[in-house]
Amino acid sequence: MNLEQGLAFAILIGTIALFVWDKLRYDLVAMLSLSAGLASGVVPADKAFHGFSDPVVVVVAAALVVSAGIARSGVIERLMRPLSGLKSPDAIIGTLSALVMVLSAFMKNIGALAIFIPLALRLSKANKIPASQILMPLSFASLVGGLMTLIGTSPNIIVSRVRADLTGTPYTMFEFTPVGLGVCLCAIVFLTFAWRVLPHDRQGTGAADQSFRIEDYLAEVRIQPQSPLIGATVIDLEQLFSGGAVTVAAIVRDHGHRYVPGGHWEFSEGDILVLEGDPMAVKPLLDSAGLTMTSGGSQGPDGEELAVMEAVVMPNSLLVGTTAAQNAMRRRYGISILAIRRAGRHMVERLRQTEFQAGDVLVVEGSGDALPGTLSQLGCLPLASRNMRFASPSSAVIPIGLAGGAMALVALGVLPVAPAFFLAAVLMVLLRCLPLRDAYEAIHWPIIILLGGLIPISDAMRSTGASELMAGWLALAVAQVPVAAAVGLVLLASMLLAPFLHHAATVLLMGPVAAAMALKLGLAMDPFLMAVAVGAACDFLTPIGHQCNTLVMGVGGYRFGDYWRLGLPLSLIVLVVGTGLILVIWPVHG
């Protein structure tokens, strides 16, 4: 091992350690890794920013824009209307899982999942099926569905780039389909019946009419002068003023001290009440009982129209580990936090002092036009808003046509994937399928930063010979095991690394090593690259490894350990079936 290789390994180990430590956002870790590469000379200065011009970055960004255009068109919601007649739990979960898989093959998987959540919650209520037994299967189905096409998931796009660097030929649009489709079929069968292992007694935020009917939240209000509540009791508020729709969880008085009140407690001017109930029941109470929201009120500046929206705090959100008071939500972002719900559990902490966690479901109020963009800026994913806008039937088909046209151009070999989807994204905006602002918001910029920062590190590992050296060590380790076991071990390693490194980083680091290991063993590299892609895309064991799992955590009322119930057996199925299909479709001695 020479000095350059030693430095490359040091940077790699440091990067992995920071990912596992999980105290810094993954895009910041990528920038630190690139900075270390520059400082050490492992990454040449003239190639430091080549990652941002890499076609894989264009593909990821353009695919996100195209996906947002499809989601905004409303055409998927129209096609789903006949599904409202489903009654059997097996039929509901099996059908929805299959449809989410298909949609995830052609658009961003978290977007596909978000489209189906409202329907899943309606069917859950209508058929008295706990939402906790429906939503996790849909999340896992969205992850597996992305395996079927080149654009279905980031690992497929990145592993195609690795292959192009090594052989000069990337994977085509549907070369992933045979393996992905086989895994999906097995996953559908499993999910259709295995949902029974999930908890049925969890109360999430989605056990109501639609995803945007909200129950059992907490809201913080202050009693104003001349309020009719002054001198009234807790029972008066709960029974007379709110009709039983709101309960008093706590009273804050005496310089910030919090009390859990009895029914006979009387209210005083200036008391802060922590109310539990539907925020839509709290809002009329503000006027009738002389109350105001402590987070800043419900009136927008300059009289703009306000909107109420549910949003999930994602793992890489700026809010994680901070409070509303620290972020000055109203002053800096123009939004008020009306309520919080966390994994099915009630909280009585004051909202402004409650630290946000990944998976929290927030009910926020702000300017109707700016609210989605603000939530995106904060790293929160909107579930649904009160006022949904759908395109006309004639314009709804345009995004579908553009996406289909891009895929056809790639499949027929007319254009590479990056130019084809770049043109589709531009046309989405030009034909007004998606406002320009929404197009920028659709791009998940931390992913772009991560790719731009780690692609030069991945290239440096290869150019310094560090990847080949590591591959040699791994080849010695697996030389005595059957080829099927070697492919399976690569798939398993990628699957285990993905929750800690992020799936894109896993492929960038594992792809070149797996390919070099295959060459040292005298085997074809394609089976090993496919194993990396499949393993990195299938994170079923944690709620924080992939955004889809985080999205359903609060809505379904899941806890961290619940993901193992369904995720561990599904991971084993993907490991066994995926390895077998890879060896059949991609011969190791080809």
Q: What is the pLDDT of residues 225-241, one digit of tens each?
A: 888 999 999 888 877 76
Question: For the residues 559-568, what does the mean pLDDT come to?
Answer: 89
Question: Given a cut of 60, is residue 393 above it in pLDDT?
Answer: no
CA atoms of 444 and 376, how far apart (whole Å): 9
Cβ(223)–Cβ(294) below 8 Å: no
Cβ(257)–Cβ(302) below 8 Å: no
Cβ(505)–Cβ(548) below 8 Å: no
Question: Given a cut of 90, is residue 527 above it in pLDDT?
Answer: yes
The H or E element that residue 380 is part of is strand 380-385
| Nearest by Cα to 105 from 61, 158, 145 | 145
| Residue 202 binned pLDDT confidence (cut-offs 50, 70, 90) | low
CA atoms of 273 and 293, how far apart (whole Å): 10
pLDDT at 345: 60
Place of tokens 């920038």: 31
CA atoms of 249 and 119, how far apart (whole Å): 32
- HSE-CB at 415 with a 13 A cutoff on CA atoms is 15
pLDDT (tens digit, 9 = 90+) per residue, 364-379? Answer: 877 766 787 788 778 8
pLDDT (tens digit, 9 = 90+) per residue, 274-318? Answer: 887 655 667 677 777 888 877 544 444 444 555 777 788 876 688
CA atoms of 202 and 136, how far apart (whole Å): 13
| Residue 181 binned pLDDT confidence (cut-offs 50, 70, 90) | very high
HEC per residue, 157-226: HHHHHHHHHHHCCCCCCCCCHHHHHHHHHHHHHHHHHHHHHCCCCCCCCCCCCCCCCCCCEEEEEEECCC
| Two tokens, residue 375 | 């939530």
Average model confidence (pLDDT) across the chain = 83
List where CATH 3.30.70.1450 sits in the chain.
213-294, 297-385
Longest dimension (CA), the chain: 84
Q: Which residues contact 85 (CB under 8 A, 6 or more apart)?
A: none
- HSE-CB at 430 with a 13 A cutoff on CA atoms is 7
| Residue 243 binned pLDDT confidence (cut-offs 50, 70, 90) | low
CA atoms of 348 and 213, how far apart (whole Å): 21
pLDDT at 186: 96
Sign of the CA dihedral with 205 first, then 210, 211, and 214 last:
negative
| Two tokens, residue 529 | 């690259």
pLDDT (tens digit, 9 = 90+) per residue, 484-510? Answer: 999 999 999 999 888 877 788 889 889
pLDDT (tens digit, 9 = 90+) per residue, 396-417? Answer: 688 889 999 998 998 888 999 8
CA atoms of 22 and 575, how far apart (whole Å): 26
- HSE-CB at 191 with a 13 A cutoff on CA atoms is 34
Fold of 213-294: Alpha-Beta Plaits (3.30.70)
pLDDT (tens digit, 9 = 90+) per residue, 111-161? Answer: 788 778 877 887 888 888 888 899 999 999 999 999 999 988 989 999 999
Cβ(523)–Cβ(589) below 8 Å: yes
Place of tokens 């772009």: 448
Q: Which residues contact 448 (CB under 8 A, 6 or more apart)?
A: 52, 57, 60, 61
CA atoms of 101 and 107, how far apart (whole Å): 10
Sign of the CA dihedral with 542 first, then 547, 550, and 555 last:
negative
CA atoms of 38 and 44, how far apart (whole Å): 7
Cβ(410)–Cβ(427) below 8 Å: no
Which SS3 state, helix, strand or coil, does residue 345 take?
Answer: strand
- Looking at residue 331, what DSSP letter applies? I
| Two tokens, residue 164 | 């192009």
pLDDT at 203: 58
Percent of the chain with pLDDT over 90: 35
pLDDT at 561: 83
Length of the chain counted residue by residue: 590
- For 235-379, strand residue ranges (E) read 246-253, 257-259, 272-277, 291-293, 306-313, 335-341, 361-367
Cβ(451)–Cβ(39) below 8 Å: no
Q: How many CB atoms lie within 10 A of CB 502?
A: 27
**The CATH number fitting domain 297-385, selected from 3.30.70.1450, 3.30.420.40, 3.30.1370.100, 3.90.470.10:** 3.30.70.1450
| Residue 423 binned pLDDT confidence (cut-offs 50, 70, 90) | very high
Which SS3 state, helix, strand or coil, does residue 320 take?
Answer: strand
pLDDT at 590: 60
Cβ(226)–Cβ(290) below 8 Å: yes
Higher pLDDT, 256 or 374: 374
Question: What's the burial of 403, exposed, middle or buried (CB within 10 Å: 0-12/13-18/19+)?
Answer: buried
- Phi and psi torsions of 213, nearest 5°: -90, 125
Q: How many CB atoms lie within 10 A of CB 388?
A: 11
Place of tokens 């895994």: 183
Question: What's the burial of 522, exposed, middle or buried (CB within 10 Å: 0-12/13-18/19+)?
Answer: exposed
pLDDT at 242: 62
Question: For the residues 457-476, what does the mean pLDDT come to?
Answer: 87
pLDDT at 337: 77
